[in-house]
Amino acid sequence: MTTPIATVQLDPADHARRTVALPGGRREPLSIFAARIALPVILLVFIVVFSALRPDTFFTTANLTTTLALQAVLAILCLSLLLPLIVGELDLSVAANLGLSVVLVTGLTSQNGWPLPLAVVAALGVSALIGLVNGLLIARVGVNAFVVTIAMSALVTGAIGGYTQGNVFYENIPQGLVDLGRGDLLGIPKPVVYAAVIAIALWYVLSSTPLGRYLYAIGGSKDAAALSGVPVKRLTVLAFVGAGLLAGVAGVVQAGILGSGNPTVGPPFLLPAYAAVFLGATAIQPGVFNVWGTVIAVLTVQVGTTGLVQLGAPFWIQPIFEGAALLIAVIVSRWLKREE
């Protein structure tokens, strides 16, 4: 005997409100259930429509692997953003942090002669340190997160300019770094593998460990979490350190993909990352910043823009698409809060 996935019925307690019966005897409003599946459905519709309109270019293995590889770094950066957002804070420095990681790992190896493993550790360490400073200023000193992280972004951008002098590092890039960002494992692009491993690990931590529950509790109410014995300040600092570290990982992977260190590579990631994270909060677990909603949002935006470009849309369609996605995500999030 099989259990139906979901059935729509009138809630006996409120005949004016439709609910959905879920496995395990749970029920939720139909509007919330619709929001939960809307983004995956939109992604599927995009794939079907663009595949029908451009079967020779869109519905191909080459296009699939290219699309996934292009968005792997953005996905890692989005996952870094989840941590401060879950505890109710903003981090506007992650894109600049990514850029710093790119120029450090390429510059230390090509300009300063450092071995690649040491350069990678140094880049990740500096990125995590930036997150630590953000976290301490926000959680311990009490400075507003918007002010701290936008100031840190400016400081990091200045440091990148000072280190690179505006130059692109492209000579003497170690082959090991290029191999790190290019090629594939079992037919899957390496950046996609990295993003998938990080997503699975972060999903497990957030959904199945006390740490994840504490982080979500802090985001729900810092005062209530503190009264329950949760070390709010310490875990807030940890969230920012994690964000900085993952931004550094994204930078190292991006450096491997590019095979060079461009001082301007970081900032363009900020808007797409926030658009994807907020859009992802409307799916899978509506109203909650979550891993799989974020991953689906990254794919949806990329599939949409790729399909439109292949249909002949101009190059400027991508920022418009991303901005529209962010606006829609914020509007839907407010609506979901009222529904809940």
How far, CA to CA in Å, does 240 sit from each of 115, 149, 152, 213?
Answer: 28, 10, 12, 17
Query: Any bridge partners for residue 185, and if so which?
Result: 188
Give the whole-angstrom CA distance, residue 274 versus residue 288: 14
Residue 338 has pLDDT above 90, yes or no: no
- Bridge partners (DSSP) of residue 9 are 19
Question: Residue 37, SS3?
Answer: helix
- Tell the residue number behind the tokens 């450090």, with chain if given: 104
Residue 63: predicted pLDDT: 81
pLDDT digits (tens, 9 = 90+) for 159-213: 999 999 989 998 899 999 999 988 888 888 999 999 999 999 999 999 999 999 9
Helix (H, G, I), strand (E, B) or coil at 287: coil
Structural domains in the chain, CATH included, are 37-49+62-339 (1.10.3470)
pLDDT in tens, 207-231: 999 999 999 999 999 999 999 999 9
295 contact partners, CB below 8 Å, separation of at least 6 = 75, 78, 195, 199, 280
Distance from C-alpha of 40 to C-alpha of 46, rounded to nearest angstrom: 10
CA–CA separation, 187 vs 164, rounded Å? Answer: 35
Instruction: Please indicate whether residue 286 or residue 155 has the higher confidence score (pLDDT).
Output: 155
The Cβ-side half-sphere exposure at 110, using a 13 Å CA radius, reads 25
Q: pLDDT digits over 104-128, tens only?
A: 999 999 999 999 999 999 999 999 9
Band (pLDDT 50/70/90 cuts) for residue 13 is: very low
Phi-psi region of 166 (alpha: psi -120 to 50; beta: other; left: phi over 0): left
Environment class of residue 229 by beta-carbon count within 10 Å: exposed (0-12), middle (13-18) or buried (19+)? exposed
Q: Which residue has the tokens 């799916």?
A: 283
> What angle do the packed helices 61-86 and 94-110 form, to 10 degrees?
120
Higher pLDDT, 222 or 284: 222
pLDDT in tens, 226-237: 999 999 999 999
For residue 44, pLDDT beyond 60: yes
DSSP reduced 3-state for 290: coil
pTM for this prediction: 0.87
Whether residue 261 contacts residue 310, with contact meaning beta carbons closer than 8 Å, is answered with no
Tokens at residue 242, please? 């994690």
Q: What is the DSSP string of 113-154?
A: ---HHHHHHHHHHHHHHHHHHHHIIIIII---HHHHHHHHHH
pLDDT value of residue 55: 86
